[in-house]
Structures are given as structure tokens and as C-alpha cells.
């Protein structure tokens, strides 16, 4: 076995039952023998060397390209064991810290998300086959952290609860409020606000696939007069707006563009307006995006520390009026996605190939593990431009969620994505 890899595993794995078969067929075991036995096999010496030197990138690559196989257990089991043993010290070895330091020094270049580059990055991920997302997302195709009000909530229930939770924090105190939805996805959040809060919504996205679906859903739901969707960069939006909502988009802005983002939000938000930003974040100091995720899944993406978000928002006349940290909710969301994807793996393989399936499996497993055992959470940050815009206690949020829960119970949702897909296929 590669000596560096052996040294790394010797110092990393202390609990569990972890066996590695090297490229020559020799088996070695690490851990204290507890838990499910897990076995990983390296198929080439090149894969061993690569993983030894840069595991945060090369382990996922080796699995994706067939350089490694999990022969007992699952990739999620393996990553869970590694993350539980490592905590936040996966990159504690000197050469790994050096790699991460270089990556951090280059992050403003990697995340230089000009309008053209931002659109290219979005298309890389969100303009994949729409049928892929049907395999693992809920019917409303919410591709962000759900909100689990109960441990046994279904994914559909938790995603609906997320929309309620966000809407309540926006405080719709009258009809016909004009809302900007930055990064509107396939339209689910905007359509919820248009239907249940009588809002006039403008949703912007950089994905052709998302735009087509969102527009079709608005027409099918009879909400096209209230929900307008555009292929538009957030930097090009013009106000004014009474409310701004952004769910799962800020991760794509890039650390060098935070000032531009908040400057635009401040410019288009009315003086008595409210903004709600829902974003993945890290609870420790600024760092790097996981190397595998940055290269293969979300190019140009970055998960911010709270300090980075606050510093930028403070410079542009926005007052933070509420902060909530959602812990474990995204891990549970990703568990649902991972299990659904694996249940439909053969269908995904028919759309793409085995390499893609391995890449996607690793992405979902690594992300879930990071939210369970590393430094990732979700921030929900509420902003205003005046101290007296909102009530000075939080009771209005709970009251509105209770009201919306009653509204949601009998409501007929806008046409879901699967219905639209079936209709398009028939045509």
C-alpha cells in the first residue's frame, strides 16, 4: 500500500471496522472493530497515490472513475465513518493544509462570477436533464434545505414547511406586495407566494431549463398574471420591491461579489421592505468549498461564514433583524435525496452513464456527511432598512406559520414538474 496513504489512515481511523484492499490485493484493517464492516478496494496504484496526496478531491474522483470500489457497505457508510473519525481535521496533514491554503488564495479567481461566467456555472448543474431531478426531488422540485417540523415528516411535507417558514419571515401584511425571488429555481417558492399570499412575484434565474418549467407551471396554475419568471442576472434587476427572497442561490454568488449582491438588494428594496436570505453556511471561520464539489458539481460556488455575509450586508444599508441557524435539517433533506436517487439509479444511468451515477452518489453522500459531522449549517437571515419595519417580537412568525398551515391543508398546489414532464412527453 502507498506509504502516505497508510500513514494517513493510521492516524485518522480509530473507531469502526474499516478495511482497505490495495492495488496488489493486500488487505489492512483500521478501527476498533465496532459497527458495520466496511471494505474499500483500490483498483490501481495511481488511485492510491492520488488519494494519499489530496483525498478531498481525489477520493471522489477515484470512485467516480472506477479507481476505487466500495465492496462492502456503501459510499455513504464509508464517508460517515471517515467524517466521524476526523471531525473537522480531515485536512490536518501539513501537505493537505498547504493545498487548502493555495486554494483559498485563489478563491477570488475561481469564484470570479461575472454575469457570463455565472450563467455558465448555473447551466453546468441546473440545465442537466429535467428527468434527473424528477428522480430524487419532491414534486415541487425544491432543491434546497427542507424544514423538518417533525422527525417523521416526508420530504414533501418538509419542503412545504420550508416555504411556510420563509413566507412567515417575510411578513405579508397586505395583498399585492411586489416580490423579487432571486434564484427562483423551478418556480416553487414564487408560486407559493403568489397563490397563498396574493403576491406579485418576479423570479429570476440563469437556467433555461428552470425558466421553461417555472413559466409552464405558472400558466397551468392560472398564476401567470401574478408570477413572472425571467432569464436574468440579479445584477440586472430593477425595483422597487416590497419583499426580496432568495433561497439556495447565495452559494453561487462568489465571495468577491457579496458587496455587489447586497448593493443591488439594497437598491431595489423599498425603505419599508423586508428581505429573507436562505443560504448554506459554515459555522466556523471562512474556508474553502470542498474540492470535489467545486470541480464537478457547483463550479464557482462558495459556502460562506456568517462573518462574511454580515460584513458585506452591513456596508449597504441593510439591518439584520433576525438570524436562524438550521442544524441537521439539510442532512435529513440530503438523506431523502440520496435514498431516492439510489432507488432510481438505473434510470439515472439510462439518462447518463455509470460514471455520472458514481459522481452524483458521491456528491449526495459527501454533502449529507458534511451537514451531519462537519461544519455546515443553513442560515436564514432577515434584513430590513429600518428598525421599525417589523414587530419587535417574533410572535408574528409563529402566528403566520399557523395560519399558512391551515391554508396549505386543503390547497391545490400548482401543477407539479412531473405533470408537466408527462404532458411534454405526450406532445
pTM of the model: 0.90
Q: Does domain 3-105 have CATH number 2.160.20?
A: no
Delimit the domains of the chain by residue range: 3-105, 115-426
The architecture in CATH of the region 115-426 reads 3-Layer(aba) Sandwich (3.40)
Q: Which residues contact 321 (CB under 8 A, 6 or more apart)?
A: 382, 383, 384, 389, 390
Q: For residues 410-427, b (16+ Cβ closer than 10 Å) or e, as one string?
A: eeebbbbbeebbeeeeee
* pLDDT by position in tens, the chain (length 427): 999 999 989 999 999 999 999 999 999 999 999 999 999 999 999 999 999 988 989 999 999 999 999 999 999 999 999 999 987 554 455 655 554 555 455 555 555 567 766 666 666 566 688 899 999 999 999 999 999 999 999 999 999 999 999 999 999 999 999 999 999 999 999 999 999 999 999 999 999 999 999 999 999 999 999 999 999 999 999 999 999 999 999 999 988 999 999 999 999 999 999 999 999 999 999 988 888 998 899 888 899 999 999 999 999 999 999 999 999 999 999 999 999 999 999 999 999 999 999 999 999 999 999 999 999 999 999 999 999 999 999 999 999 999 999 999 864 455 566 666 565 555 5
Task: For strands 17-21 and 37-42, give the pairing.
Answer: parallel
Question: How many residues in total does the chain contain?
Answer: 427
**Radius of gyration, alpha carbons of the chain:** 22
HEC sequence for 202-214: EEEECCHHHHHHH
Amino acid at each position: 500500500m502507498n506509504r502516505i496513504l497508510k500513514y494517513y489512515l493510521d492516524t485518522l481511523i480509530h473507531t469502526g471496522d474499516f478495511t482497505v484492499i490495495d492495488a496488489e490485493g493486500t488487505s489492512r484493517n483500521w478501527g476498533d472493530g465496532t459497527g458495520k464492516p466496511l471494505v474499500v478496494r483500490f483498483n490501481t496504484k495511481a488511485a492510491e497515490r492520488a488519494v494519499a496526496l489530496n483525498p478531498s478531491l481525489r477520493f471522489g474522483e477515484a470512485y467516480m472513475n472506477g479507481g476505487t470500489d466500495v465492496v462492502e457497505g456503501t459510499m455513504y457508510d464509508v464517508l460517515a465513518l471517515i467524517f466521524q473519525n476526523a471531525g473537522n481535521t480531515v485536512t490536518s496533514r501539513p501537505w493537505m493544509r498547504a493545498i487548502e491554503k493555495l486554494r483559498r488564495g485563489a478563491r477570488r479567481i475561481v469564484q470570479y462570477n461575472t454575469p457570463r461566467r455565472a450563467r455558465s456555472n448555473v447551466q453546468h448543474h441546473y440545465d442537466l436533464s429535467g428527468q434527473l431531478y424528477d428522480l430524487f426531488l419532491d414534486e415541487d422540485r425544491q432543491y434546497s434545505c427542507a424544514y423538518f417540523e417533525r422527525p417523521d415528516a416526508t420530504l414533501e411535507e418538509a419542503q412545504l414547511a420550508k416555504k411556510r417558514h420563509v413566507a412567515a419571515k417575510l411578513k405579508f401584511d397586505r395583498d399585492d406586495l411586489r416580490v423579487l425571488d432571486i434564484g427562483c429555481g423551478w418556480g416553487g417558492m414564487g408560486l407559493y407566494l403568489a397563490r397563498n399570499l396574493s403576491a406579485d412575484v418576479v423570479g429570476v434565474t440563469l437556467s433555461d431549463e428552470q425558466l421553461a418549467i417555472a413559466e409552464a407551471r405558472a400558466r397551468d396554475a392560472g398564476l401567470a398574471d401574478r408570477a413572472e419568471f425571467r432569464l436574468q442576472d440579479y445584477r440586472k434587476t430593477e425595483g422597487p420591491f416590497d419583499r426580496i427572497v432568495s433561497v439556495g442561490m447565495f452559494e453561487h454568488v462568489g465571495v468577491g461579489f457579496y458587496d455587489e449582491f447586497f448593493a443591488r438588494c439594497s437598491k431595489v428594496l423599498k425603505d419599508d421592505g423586508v428581505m429573507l436570505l436562505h443560504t448554506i453556511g459554515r459555522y466556523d471561520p471562512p474556508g474553502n468549498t470542498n474540492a470535489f464539489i467545486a470541480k464537478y458539481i457547483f463550479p464557482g460556488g462558495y459556502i460562506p461564514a456568517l462573518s462574511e455575509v454580515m460584513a458585506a450586508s452591513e456596508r449597504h444599508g441593510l439591518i439584520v433583524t433576525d438570524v436562524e441557524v438550521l442544524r441537521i435539517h439539510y442532512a435529513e433533506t440530503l438523506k431523502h435525496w440520496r435514498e431516492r436517487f439510489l432507488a432510481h439509479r438505473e434510470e439515472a444511468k439510462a439518462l447518463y452513464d455509470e460514471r455520472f451515477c458514481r459522481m452524483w452518489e458521491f456528491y449526495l453522500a459527501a454533502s449529507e456527511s458534511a451537514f451531519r459531522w462537519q461544519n455546515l449549517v443553513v442560515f436564514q437571515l432577515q434584513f430590513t432598512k429600518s428598525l421599525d419595519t417589523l414587530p419587535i417580537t417574533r410572535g408574528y412568525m409563529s402566528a403566520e406559520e399557523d395560519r399558512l398551515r391551515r391554508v396549505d391543508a386543503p390547497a391545490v398546489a400548482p401543477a407539479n414538474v412531473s405533470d408537466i414532464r408527462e404532458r411534454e412527453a405526450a406532445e
